[in-house]
Structure 1
Amino acid sequence: MIQGIYIHIPFCHQICSYCDFNKFYFHNQPVDEYLTRLDQEMELWARKTDLSEVHTIFLGGGTPTSLSLRQLSRLFDSISKHFPVDQVTEFTSEANPDELTYDKMELMAARGVNRFSIGVQTFDQQLLKVLGRTHSTEHVERVITHAEQLNFPSISMDLMYGLPNQTMEQWEQALTKAFSMPITHISAYSLLVEPKTIFYNLLSKGKLKLPTQELEADMYDVLLKRTEKAGFEQYEISNFAKNKLYSEHNSIYWRNEEYLGLGAGAHGYVDGVRYSNHGPLKKYMTPLEQNELPVLHQNLVTVKESMEEQMFLGLRMNQGVQYTKFEEKFGKDLRTVYAEKIRPHATSGFLELTDETLRLTRKGRFIGNEIFQDFLLD
């Protein structure tokens, strides 16, 4: 049953050096035509799926806040026309600090958005320039002030570490500044240099100096200690919340539940099928002109694949994977299915079996990706 809806807005006024998401430079793009086709995709999915369990909507990108006030209004008209906004408990939009004006925030609040995920990444102006970001600390402070004026219940801030030439002092300063603001959630990610990005090209030419693995691990250790001291609860490897204000939409992914993905290059999971849309705008919009869904790939998830997903997604969360939930879904005891995978990591202190769950230990969170790989059945 579909739990959430993801909507992709693939336009950006500036292309960041590290970003490998499906995106297009805003200038001269058919933005209004895209919104028309997106409305058609919403209608097609709304006709064919049961949306009675939907409780989250997430606007991602690209940059949703790259849209003008008029374009945002069009987008929200489409969402409210096709989807059960009244039953949604968490409605999130990603945002760039220099694009999120008071007028846009006011409009979005009036149309149901109750959570912003703000792409701050760092407060160091030189590092922001290296990342290709165009905002300043003043932009972030202005957005936070506006959010308070509009009584937004939840503001999340994205931060990054392991950046080119980033020092521990710069990372500490970023955390100090973040904690000084009235935010409710932090997502903190280490830099991954992905193919087809500016950073990847620089790295392949030997022109990108990254921190050592040891320094990056130390930065993560500092993150864990300082978020806890500041009153943020870690509930997932990279996510921390105050007052239990977790990202419910992202938790749908980690719990391996189903969701709609709409827009160019978006991914979804419906009726046991994972699918992805065409990425290029023309290829995305052409099927919709014929009133057909713009799906490029579909994969019926096998029981084996679903079990693997349940493990490596669920282990991302601090609560881990519950034995009862696994058995209800698959009719098997995960401790039996994965006994040989669990044993060496439990012996090494990376995994622990509680009365109810299998989960990473604090030590295990530092090598989470390596452990996740081991839960792929032979």
Structure 2
Amino acid sequence: MRVSSLYVHIPFCASKCYYCDFNSYVSTSDVMERYLDGLDRELEAVAAEYAHDPLKTVFFGGGTPTMFDSRQTERMMKMLHRHFRMSDGVEISVEANPGTVDLEKLHVLKEHGANRLSFGVQSFENDLLVKLGRLHDRDAVYQSWELARKAGFESINLDLMFGLPGQTLEALERTLRALIELGPEHVSSYSLKVEEGTPFYTWHNRGQLILPPEEEETQMYQMVIDGFQRAGYEMYEISNFAKPGHRSRHNQVYWRNEPYMAVGSGAHGYVDGVRYINQKNVPEYIETTVQGQRPVVEQEVIEVRMQQEDTMILGLRLMEGVSFARFAKQHGVEMLDVFGDTITRFEKLGLLAVDETGVRLTHQGVFLANEVYAAFLE
């Protein structure tokens, strides 16, 4: 399968949130300029190295891509178009944090083809935002939302977190009401994961981070599912909800275990059965790329069995599951010949549903998904 998707990592943030283990840094405008110098050279190298079709999806993630000023934003978008052709109807998504956009910057993005924004809202409760180390407040969400609509963006995702320290079911319900009232075309909703190397991890180990009990977190997840489905959103993936026609096409590339190119510090790509990882350290990334070298520090050829496992584990995140036809087309073998025993076991447990088209999680399976995924690694 020829690659037609690109991920671009922009690692800069105004500050580091307490729960965040992503590759992100607080930096200066001068470093950002030099980063763009390196990114330009890497885009050129990646475009030349991989046989690719005109891009169908592009995703600028971070960090916070909207940390760039308007001129830097224009430069970023122009270099994308200089090195890659876009297909008709390409989806170009840009992550943003509330408070980091203005009308000029949004117009620049729109004029250069960006047609989908993703705001890291997380909560509408100001006290919870402070606990997360977020710099924005509820008012900043509304202001950024209004600017995005004014700039002409008709496809906006809002990120929502639950299972937060001090969060109650009532607080989550208020956030759900506020978010649904805004009416974004897409919502990504995740439970908090305490990751090693973050302040939350340290505080949790010291007993200083009090999280909702597991039973309450499960109730929160059910509340999220029910709330968005009642409001007309389709739950098309285990953590994602969309209005008709607004599924994230780029993320579906990941969930269908399809190839994608990736550029930027710490970016992960997957092309021709090889997974690669870029240099995370920003100064080293810049030094390598401005010299015209690719900043890849790790490569792994993904063996056939692991590719098959990835197709199942990633694909079962989708509510449509994994079809027998798609599995056979990707891997040249029948799914049941490879994973028949595992599928039968979890079908009997009521966690997987099987019909003539394929395999998917049941409602009960959605809540025990990690247990199901792990079984495909046995």
TM-score by length of 1: 0.97
What residue is the counterpart of 2:250 in the other structure?
Answer: 249
- Do the aligned residues in 2 keep the contact of 1:4 with 1:259 (CA within 8 Å)? yes
Residues 106-135 of structure 1 deviation map (CA, whole Å, 9 limit, x = unaligned):
111111110001000000000000111111
Answer yes or no: is 1:61 the counterpart of 2:66.
no
Map residues 264-303 of structure 1 onto 2, 5 A cutoff: 264-303=265-304
Measure, in 1, the Cα distance between the counterparts of 2:54 and 2:338. 31
Q: Deviation at 1:28?
A: 7.0
Q: Secondary structure at the match of 1:363?
A: helix
What residue is the counterpart of 1:189 in the other structure?
Answer: 190
Q: Deviation at 1:139?
A: 1.5
Report the residue type matching 1:133 in the other structure: R
What residue is the counterpart of 1:376 in the other structure?
Answer: 377
Measure, in 2, the Cα distance between the counterparts of 1:144 and 1:24. 25
Map residues 186-335 of structure 1 onto 2, 5 A cutoff: 186-335=187-336
RMSD: 1.3
Measure, in 1, the Cα distance between the counterparts of 2:351 and 2:147. 43
What residue is the counterpart of 2:96 in the other structure?
Answer: 95
Measure, in 1, the Cα distance between the counterparts of 2:337 and 2:304. 16
Range with bigger deviation, 173-182 or 80-89: 80-89
- Do the aligned residues in 1 keep the contact of 2:55 with 2:87 (CA within 8 Å)? no
What residue is the counterpart of 2:343 in the other structure?
Answer: 342
What residue is the counterpart of 1:107 in the other structure?
Answer: 108
Q: Deviation at 1:73?
A: 1.3
Identity %: 39
Measure, in 1, the Cα distance between the counterparts of 2:153 and 2:31. 32
What residue is the counterpart of 1:168 in the other structure?
Answer: 169
- Do the aligned residues in 2 keep the contact of 1:144 with 1:182 (CA within 8 Å)? no
Report the residue type matching 2:279 in the other structure: H
What residue is the counterpart of 1:80 in the other structure?
Answer: 81
Measure, in 1, the Cα distance between the counterparts of 2:330 and 2:189. 31
Measure, in 2, the Cα distance between the counterparts of 1:69 and 1:243. 32
Report the residue type matching 1:340 in the other structure: D
Measure, in 1, the Cα distance between the counterparts of 2:87 and 2:303. 34
Q: Secondary structure at the match of 1:200?
A: helix
Q: Secondary structure at the match of 1:258?
A: coil
Name the CA shift for 1:244/1:363 in 2 (closer, same or farther; >3 Å): farther
- Do the aligned residues in 2 keep the contact of 1:56 with 1:90 (CA within 8 Å)? yes
Q: Deviation at 1:29?
A: 6.3
Measure, in 2, the Cα distance between the counterparts of 1:106 and 1:34. 23
Q: Deviation at 1:53?
A: 4.6
What residue is the counterpart of 1:35 in the other structure?
Answer: 36
- Do the aligned residues in 2 keep the contact of 1:79 with 1:85 (CA within 8 Å)? no
Measure, in 1, the Cα distance between the counterparts of 2:165 and 2:31. 34
- Do the aligned residues in 2 keep the contact of 1:3 with 1:257 (CA within 8 Å)? no
TM-score by length of 2: 0.97
- Do the aligned residues in 2 keep the contact of 1:5 with 1:260 (CA within 8 Å)? yes
